[in-house]
């Protein structure tokens, strides 16, 4: 079913902080007010200085269940003393072996009486300050979380005892849990804790297959529908509490199919019976295929893992569920926690760690203890930028400045003199009312001249009809923009429209759902204002700008989309500003399968953007370039610096041919667990910056709150500036 895991030694965090930088803290000025914040970190009160011995543990016959492996070793606790064991790697405070005999062999029996041989091999010594030292902290903490009754699902711990049932939506459960990470920060070792949730569906993948069986009659239709349903999904196998990403379905195999296990041919059903005492009922179901990641393959896991749908449980939400407004609102009641409630959950969790007898004993065994309260930090709040509209008009400096846009002229308005609206017949009257009493009124107030459109009525409003009608319209004329009114949130219709108008025929489109054109007049005007702004931008206009102090500046943004259906296939998207107002952009999309392709494509895309910049700026190149790079994991940073960034520098040198150019390369990370609050247990306001205490001492990094939320807890963004050398200058 899966290969045996071997020890994978983690690498150190790559240093990006310049040696000459004594502090990362920005100055407090009239444009940045000092502010104290509370963050979701607990300080490690006692920092132990023990020396640990590291061992590799092998168990024969093979036993892959981590819980059973820990049980087998636990019977030798007196012999081992204080230890930490994650299922493969063992850490002890005292050495168990000698240099002459680096192996220790023990025997132990499981609950069924099977005898196992445990071989413990000395790997090395972990000294204070080593990267693995911090990893041990996390292993100790994970043991404590198990002591609290939390259950490991995937990589995080959840509380099944506190699950919330949501039975009216097909049957699902919400499991509350915690994400934790202990690591060295600027001057202290801190434990970052955040609340998380896992959507657990009570139906199996086989249940989903049976539902599809009732809808599709032919084998081809059923197989295609099932593949589309499960490809890219994450499933949970409760027998070992592991999660797997499904890549494909193997209809040529079923539970009766055999594979080689320990030198013998055994069926998948028999394997489940022997290993987990689970009987498989449906012997005709196909098998799911999960391809191991590069990291898992390095750790010894088989390249492909076959899973039986009958014992796989769906996790997460389907597209149909996400489109269900009532379901999402019901889930949000529990998952969208305001700062006060989130802080209380964190405090309660930390208190359990400090009072649970098993957890306290484990922490004490390794001379560890945590502080009672969350960490406070000194930061600052940057003054809000002034939004500049047409005619030098400005908006109020508030987080919700878009409300103030009504009645103000756009920065660069355009004339929409010929455009077409495709609308289902039953929505014709509502759409006309939305256009005349909503869109055109809002556009007029913004100095956006919007003429009456040509209306094309649709019959069914399905994807095929939209494609045919769009072809007919574009064969007869060249409208500046086409608006498509669609019935509901239907992905296939949206995809058909965008494919036809972005790939096959180049014409701007504005897709709007039926629910937005049928709302009451007051609500429609708010929607119409936003839609009018989008439409103006799509035909070359610009809504607003801010004052940019740096001249000759190009700002580049690059992100990566990973295909859920086809593993290894990704798309890179880049945008680059072309003018001082940051209102005109060059954009491009490139496909890639490897990191080498990505880095080559990024450099080539930057060159294309520079050519476009030179074209629209009378032959002049930008004197400064800031590249914001999203979609980079911690382990990819060395590659970004050594390969990707170097490719960009080489490309710049060729384009500039010896001219001076200043460049900054910044990695942006949005999916982080850090949360920043005010002392009053509210969300940190937009513009809040934290660049000390919780930042990484090895990085040139900071946190910025760049948004405001009406519900829940705001998420900051992490920025990490890369070292740029051998380029003419840096910003």
What confidence tens digit (pLDDT) does each residue in 103-123 have? Answer: 999 999 988 888 999 999 999
Q: Average of pLDDT values for 287-314?
A: 81
Taking the CA atoms of residue 216, residue 218, residue 224 and residue 230 in that order, the dihedral angle to the nearest 10 degrees is 50
Phi, psi of 158, rounded to the nearest 5 degrees: -130, 160
Q: Average of pLDDT values for 285-302?
A: 75
Place of tokens 């064991």: 85
Residues near 457 by beta carbon (within 8 Å), at least 6 away in sequence: 423, 424, 425, 428
pTM exceeds cut of 0.75: yes
Handedness of CA 394, 396, 401, 407 (dihedral sign): negative
Q: Is the pLDDT of residue 294 over 80?
A: no
Residues 192 and 694: their CA atoms lie apart, in Å, by: 9
Task: Report how far apart, in Å, the C-alpha atoms of 304 and of each of 244, 255, 266, 280, 562 are.
Answer: 11, 16, 17, 21, 20
Give the residue with greater pLDDT, 344 vs 166: 344
Q: Which pLDDT does position 13 carry in this prediction?
A: 62
State the CB neighbour count (10 A cutoff) for residue 446. Answer: 24
Residues 486 and 75: their CA atoms lie apart, in Å, by: 65
Tens digit of each residue's pLDDT (9 = 90 or more) over 451-481 = 999 999 999 888 999 999 999 999 999 999 9
Helix 131-147 × helix 357-365 angle, to 10°: 160
HEC per residue, 637-649: HHHHHHHHHHHHH
Percent of the chain beyond pLDDT 90? 58
Judged by DSSP in three states, 263 sits in coil
Tens digit of each residue's pLDDT (9 = 90 or more) over 205-218 = 999 999 898 888 78
Q: Is the pLDDT of residue 511 over 80?
A: yes
Q: Which pLDDT does position 10 carry in this prediction?
A: 40
Residues 536 and 543: their CA atoms lie apart, in Å, by: 8
Q: Which pLDDT does position 7 carry in this prediction?
A: 35
Q: Which pLDDT does position 89 carry in this prediction?
A: 92
Burial of residue 79 (CB within 10 Å: 0-12, 13-18, 19+) is exposed
Q: Is the pLDDT of residue 272 over 70?
A: yes
Q: Which pLDDT does position 3 carry in this prediction?
A: 37
CA 139 centroid distance within chain: 24
Residues 615 and 619: their CA atoms lie apart, in Å, by: 6
Q: How many helices (H) and strands (E) does the chain have?
A: 20, 36
The structural architecture, per CATH, of the domain 390-538 is: 3-Layer(aba) Sandwich (3.40)
Q: Which pLDDT does position 81 carry in this prediction?
A: 85
Exposure b/e, 680-701, CB count within 10 A at least 16 = b: eeebbbbbbbbbbbbbbeebbb
CA 643 centroid distance within chain: 24
Query: Could you tell me whether strands 103-109 and 115-126 are parallel, antiparallel, or unpaired per DSSP bridges?
Result: antiparallel
Q: Which pLDDT does position 141 carry in this prediction?
A: 94
Q: Which pLDDT does position 477 carry in this prediction?
A: 93
The encoded tokens of residue 90 equal: 């063992």
Q: Give the residue range(s) of CATH 3.40.50.2300 domains in the chain.
A: 390-538
Q: Which pLDDT does position 407 carry in this prediction?
A: 75
Q: Give the residue range(s) of CATH 3.30.70 domains in the chain.
A: 51-127
Q: Is the pLDDT of residue 11 over 50?
A: no
HEC per residue, 24-87: CCCCCECCEEEEEEEEEEEEEEECCCCCEEEEEEEEECCCCCHHHHHHHHHCCHHHHCCEEECC
Q: Which pLDDT does position 5 carry in this prediction?
A: 34
CA nearest neighbour of 233 among 138, 312, 314: 314
Judged by DSSP in three states, 90 sits in strand
The encoded tokens of residue 625 equal: 């370039």
Domain 553-730 belongs in CATH node 3.30.420.10: yes
Q: Which pLDDT does position 157 carry in this prediction?
A: 94
Q: Which CATH number fits domain 51-127: 3.30.70, 3.40.50, 1.10.1740, 1.10.3470?
A: 3.30.70
Q: Which pLDDT does position 637 carry in this prediction?
A: 86
Q: Is the pLDDT of residue 2 over 90?
A: no
Taking the CA atoms of residue 106, residue 111, residue 115 and residue 120 in that order, the dihedral angle to the nearest 10 degrees is -30
Judged by DSSP in three states, 108 sits in strand
- Of 211-220, 424-433, 479-488, 694-703, minimum mean pLDDT range: 211-220
Contact 112, 68 (CB under 8 A): no
Q: Is the pLDDT of residue 319 over 80?
A: no
- DSSP-derived letter for residue 367 is T
Q: Which pLDDT does position 317 carry in this prediction?
A: 84
- Of 211-225, 570-584, 674-688, minimum mean pLDDT range: 211-225
Structure confidence at residue 301 as a pLDDT band (50, 70, 90): low
Residues 330 and 132: their CA atoms lie apart, in Å, by: 42
The encoded tokens of residue 229 equal: 């349903």
- Of 61-70, 267-276, 284-293, 392-401, minimum mean pLDDT range: 392-401
Q: Which pLDDT does position 155 carry in this prediction?
A: 85
Q: Which pLDDT does position 171 carry in this prediction?
A: 77
Pick from 43-47, 256-260, 302-306 the range whose average pLDDT is largest.
256-260
- Of 39-53, 276-290, 650-664, minimum mean pLDDT range: 39-53
Catalytic residues, which ones?
559, 630
Residues 55 and 60: their CA atoms lie apart, in Å, by: 16
Residues 402 and 413: their CA atoms lie apart, in Å, by: 17
Residues near 426 by beta carbon (within 8 Å), at least 6 away in sequence: none
């Amino acid at each position: 079913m899966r290969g045996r895991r071997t020890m994978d030694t983690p690498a150190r965090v790559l240093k990006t902080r310049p040696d000459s930088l004594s502090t990362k803290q920005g100055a407090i000025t009239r444009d940045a007010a000092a502010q104290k914040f509370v963050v979701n970190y607990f300080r490690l009160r006692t920092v132990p200085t023990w020396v640990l011995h590291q061992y590799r543990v092998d168990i024969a016959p093979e036993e892959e269940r981590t819980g059973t492996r820990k049980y087998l070793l636990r019977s030798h606790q007196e012999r081992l003393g204080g230890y930490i064991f994650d299922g493969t790697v063992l850490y002890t405070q005292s050495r168990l072996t000698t240099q002459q005999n680096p192996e220790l062999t023990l025997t132990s029996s499981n609950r069924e009486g099977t005898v196992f041989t445990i071989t413990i091999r000395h790997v090395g010594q972990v000294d204070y300050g080593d990267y693995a030292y911090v990893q041990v902290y996390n292993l100790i903490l994970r043991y404590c979380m198990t002591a609290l009754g939390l259950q490991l699902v995937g990589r995080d711990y959840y509380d099944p005892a506190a699950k919330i049932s949501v039975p009216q939506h097909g049957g699902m459960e919400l499991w509350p849990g915690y994400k934790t990470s202990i690591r060295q920060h600027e001057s202290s070792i801190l434990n970052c804790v955040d609340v998380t949730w896992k959507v657990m569906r009570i139906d199996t993948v086989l249940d989903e297959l049976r539902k599809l069986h009732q809808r599709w009659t032919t084998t081809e239709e059923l197989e295609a529908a099932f593949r589309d349903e499960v490809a890219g999904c994450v499933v949970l196998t409760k027998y070992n509490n592991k999660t797997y990403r499904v890549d494909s379905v193997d209809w040529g195999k079923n539970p009766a199919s055999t594979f080689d296990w320990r030198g013998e041919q055994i069926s998948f059903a028999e394997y489940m019976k022997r290993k987990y005492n689970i009987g498989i009922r449906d012997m005709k179901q196909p098998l799911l295929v999960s391809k191991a990641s590069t990291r898992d393959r390095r750790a010894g896991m088989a390249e492909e893992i076959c899973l039986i749908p009958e014992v796989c449980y769906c996790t997460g939400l389907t597209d149909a569920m996400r489109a269900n407004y009532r379901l999402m609102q019901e889930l949000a009641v529990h998952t969208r926690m305001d700062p006060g409630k989130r802080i209380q959950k964190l405090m309660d969790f930390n208190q359990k760690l400090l009072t649970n007898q098993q957890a306290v004993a484990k922490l004490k065994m390794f001379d560890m203890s945590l502080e009672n309260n969350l960490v406070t930090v000194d930061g600052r709040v940057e003054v809000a930028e002034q939004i500049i509209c047409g005619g030098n008009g400005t908006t109020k400096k508030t987080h919700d400045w878009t409300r103030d846009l009504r009645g103000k002229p756009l920065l660069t308005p355009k004339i929409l003199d010929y455009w077409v609206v495709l609308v289902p017949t039953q929505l014709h009257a509502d759409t006309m009312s939305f256009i005349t009493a909503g869109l055109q009124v809002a556009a007029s107030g913004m100095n956006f001249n919007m003429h009456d459109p040509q209306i094309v009525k649709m019959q069914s409003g399905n994807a095929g009809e939209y494609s045919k009608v769009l072809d007919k319209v574009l064969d007869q004329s060249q409208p500046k923009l086409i608006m498509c009114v669609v019935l509901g949130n239907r992905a296939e219709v949206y995809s058909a429209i965008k494919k036809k108008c972005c790939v096959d025929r180049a014409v701007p489109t504005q897709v709007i759902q039926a629910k937005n054109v049928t709302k009451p007049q007051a609500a429609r005007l708010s929607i119409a204002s936003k839609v009018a702004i989008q439409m103006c931008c799509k035909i070359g206009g610009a809504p607003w700008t801010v004052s940019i102090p740096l001249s000759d500046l190009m700002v580049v943004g690059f992100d990566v989309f990973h295909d859920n259906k086809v593993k290894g296939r990704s798309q890179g998207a880049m945008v680059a500003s072309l003018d001082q107002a940051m209102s005109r952009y060059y954009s491009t999309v490139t496909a890639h399968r490897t990191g080498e392709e990505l880095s080559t494509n990024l450099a080539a895309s930057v060159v294309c953007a520079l050519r476009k910049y030179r074209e629209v700026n009378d032959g002049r190149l930008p004197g400064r370039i800031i590249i914001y790079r999203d979609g980079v994991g911690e382990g990819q940073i060395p590659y970004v610096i050594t390969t990707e960034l170097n490719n960009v520098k080489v490309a710049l040198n060729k384009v500039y041919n010896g001219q001076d150019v200043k460049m900054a390369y910044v990695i942006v990370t949005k999916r982080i667990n850090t949360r920043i609050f005010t002392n009053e247990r509210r969300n940190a306001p937009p513009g809040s910056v934290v660049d000390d205490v919780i930042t990484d001492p090895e990085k040139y990094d900071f946190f910025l709150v760049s948004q405001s939320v009406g519900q829940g807890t705001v998420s900051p963004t992490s920025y990490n500036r890369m070292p740029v050398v051998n380029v003419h200058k840096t910003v």
